[in-house]
Amino acid sequence: MPAAEVMSASSIHAAIIMDGNGRWASRRGLPRAAGHRAGAAAVRRAVEAAPDLGISTLTLYAFSEGNWSRPAREVSALMKLLGRYLTEETARCIANGVRLQAIGRRDRLPPRLVALLEESERKTAAGTRLVLRLALDYSSRKSILDAARRISGEVTEESLSALIGPDVDLLIRTSGEQRLSDFLLWECAYAEFVFTPRMWPDFTAKDLAQAVAEFHARDRRFGAVTARTA
């Protein structure tokens, strides 16, 4: 079942750039890996809170294409953490109706991680309460380019969107940075952005609720004029 089939007309596709793990750890005199482990706990909090906030699809920027340039030790720790997350959280996802999907490249990920990922996708396929999309070895520009190459015949917005993915309603970035960093560029064409100075490991269900409340308070016009702005 595609993510779009799970969503209702009033549901929200939220996406989060989970930023600040390393800085969170450094400020506490801890290794960067400790920040990533704390970030994994924040992922659990967000996933558990999302459905009750009207979020039916949650896309998390877990590992970008650019992250390969980080020190090999940190990359290795991240890959192991991702594998541990899949091992520990798959049963929880099944119990809570969460369907896990991955976007991005898989050919450069460790084979064991790919196997765990595919197993989790298979086991959680029946989930309808929340679609949890993990962006791994992900580049939005590459995603758009790959989609364009796969289209035979005329390239249209509809044909590209069908291959790239669902539109984002709410984009959240933590740690005070205010840029997209090659994340869901096409899908965020009309997304509402919420930037918070809070580091990702400190991000709570209350923070997510506040972002959703801010989203609902905004006047989404999509280029048109509404009664609120006329």
For the annotated catalytic residues, the residue numbers are 19, 67
The tokens of 132 are what? 């949890």
H helix intervals, the chain: 3-6, 21-26, 32-49, 72-95, 111-123, 140-150, 157-164, 205-217
Find the distance separating the first CA and the last CA of the chain, reported in whole Å. 40
Give helix 205-217 / helix 32-49 axis angle, nearest 10°.
Answer: 60
CA proximity to 168, closest of 15, 1, 5: 15
What's the token pair of residue 39? 């970030």
